[in-house]
Structure 1
């Protein structure tokens, strides 16, 4: 539930007036200007830098960066990498500087862009959407809503559908872009102070670390099947999905085309459980999936993979055995499928208990624990479990004692 109102209404703190965000900014579209800005920031070593990306990704696998906006307490810039094909290499030192916190809002896609361009994730990270949840403002709070709630400012949406790759950009579009980070740096200060006041400054750290981990963004084609989280019952079905998802990922990356324009998840899942089809039958089946594999060359490419995926099931060799072991190990992580009837009831009771704790703190239950963590605890209760240690342990250790004792009996 999102708590409405300005900070003085939400947190009971006086605010003298509506926050007015004004700051001059600079447009950077040349290498020497970018180098100079980066040197100034590294010499100044501000405590944080707010970051936002404007990009286009409707039909491509890799997002095309249109603008990069940055704001420190004393500087604000818009970097235009498009007009002169500007390299962002000079930014690496800033993005990796441990004394400068990189502030994003719902930063997954922004960080993914920087990871793909520069080969590493920014760190350390502070995500205001995550922080807002831990501060009691609600889960998944959008940027415009957060600006309105904390700064009492209504963000204009007039330029939100801009083609950020088209040049020249109008002044209104540039103003829209820069205000994303000007507001963001103000929000950061408010949320950081609020988490400090609540004694929760370290609670979101696990989520922030995940965003700074390259494994979050590096998608190996041979592991793409895992992201679909298919509820299959047979290893053979997972094996077919393995090959089909790997083909889609590799083709999409190589040709820079959106996965969904090749084959959507539903198609891959359906084909993984369906009996083998000859070319004519499969082509007929695909007619119900408009704009999927819709050229002869693309279909032929896909069909070769589809055919090999089924042939692999008949190999019965070490390669197949190795894949079966990987699939078994991965599916065993879905503890809910392996819980006894008694454990399933304990799982339900524990979810209710954790939900009550979250409600008392006015934070989403996902901040405290997710489904998989509860499943793992019920499956194998242990005092060293993540839920009983750190800040979570302080919240849950007493209320989960009965569940721990049940597991020991």
Structure 2
């Protein structure tokens, strides 16, 4: 298992195949239009994680990465896909779907708890411990330290295994069809966020 670091794009030929891709992003904050995309993490579940860093002033021209993200034949695994889809769409210009979101899946089947963070899931479902210490660090600096790189890689390291466990539970509880409908809607939800409806529920009566 290794963490591979790249500037501005993936090397040609990396992560080719048909396997689902675990994807995550690191940004300067939580407001997509204001807080630039700094890092995209991606893995096909075979043991290696790839981190693509974008510098300040980046043109976000990453043809190898965007080709993978835009490939509709490969499911993209996320934890809180709504945010990552919006960031990738806004900065890289592609909608990285189809989607499986482990946070939504968790909320549909782990109704015995209100703790649906990635750390909670890996602890309970996989018996693995991850650190969230670097979650709020400066991802836009000139250098990503080893702790930041390991944190970023850990955000995609377990998503394939979590997907498998959560899918089993969704099927067991008869909620896979509801989950799939939610996953299918997420690209539209991300588009609504980008367009200005992030804080307004258009399905609400008022």
Could you state the TM-score of these two structures normalised by the residue count of structure 1?
0.44
| Pick aligned residue for 1:114 from 88, 91, 104 | 88
Q: How does 1:196-275 map to 2 (within 5 A)?
A: 196-213=171-188, 215-219=191-195, 227-228=199-200
Provide the rounded CA distance (Å) in 2 between the counterparts of 1:106 and 1:195: 17
Matched, 1:172 2:144: no
Deviation at 1:171, TM superposition (A): 1.0
Deviation at 1:77, TM superposition (A): 0.5
Specify which structure has the higher proportion of strand: 2
Provide the rounded CA distance (Å) in 2 between the counterparts of 1:134 and 1:190: 13
Unmatched tracts of structure 2, length 5 or more: none
Q: How does 1:7-156 map to 2 (within 5 A)?
A: 23-29=1-7, 31=9, 34-36=10-12, 39-42=13-16, 44-46=17-19, 48-57=20-29, 61-74=33-46, 75-82=48-55, 85=58, 87-137=61-111, 138=113, 141-156=116-131
Provide the rounded CA distance (Å) in 2 between the counterparts of 1:77 and 1:26: 5
Specify which structure has the higher proportion of helix: 1
Deviation at 1:58, TM superposition (A): 6.6
What SS does the aligned partner of 1:190 have?
helix
* Aligned residues of 1:130 and 1:140 also touching (Cα < 8 A): no
Q: How does 1:330-369 map to 2 (within 5 A)?
A: 334=205
Provide the rounded CA distance (Å) in 1 between the counterparts of 2:165 and 2:5: 27
Cα RMSD between the aligned structures? 2.9
**Residues 130, 140 of structure 1: alpha-carbon distance in 2 compared, 3 angstrom cutoff:** farther
Deviation at 1:149, TM superposition (A): 1.2
**Residues 176, 116 of structure 1: alpha-carbon distance in 2 compared, 3 angstrom cutoff:** same
Provide the rounded CA distance (Å) in 1 between the counterparts of 2:74 and 2:167: 14
| Larger deviation, residues 102-111 vs 135-144 | 135-144
Could you state the TM-score of these two structures normalised by the residue count of structure 2?
0.83
Provide the rounded CA distance (Å) in 1 between the counterparts of 2:82 and 2:90: 12
* Aligned residues of 1:89 and 1:118 also touching (Cα < 8 A): no
Deviation at 1:227, TM superposition (A): 4.9
Deviation at 1:199, TM superposition (A): 4.0
What SS does the aligned partner of 1:41 have?
coil
- How many equivalent residue pairs? 202
What SS does the aligned partner of 1:204 have?
helix
Task: Tell me which residue corresponds to 1:288.
Answer: none
Provide the rounded CA distance (Å) in 1 between the counterparts of 2:95 and 2:171: 26
Provide the rounded CA distance (Å) in 1 between the counterparts of 2:154 and 2:101: 17
Listed one character per residue, the Cα deviations across residues 116-153 of structure 1 (whole Å, up to 9, x for unaligned) are 01334211101001111222344561122112111223
Q: How does 1:242-391 map to 2 (within 5 A)?
A: 334=205
Unmatched tracts of structure 1, length 5 or more: 1-22, 230-329, 338-409
RCO comparison, higher one (Cα < 8 Å, 6+):
2
**Residues 215, 228 of structure 1: alpha-carbon distance in 2 compared, 3 angstrom cutoff:** closer
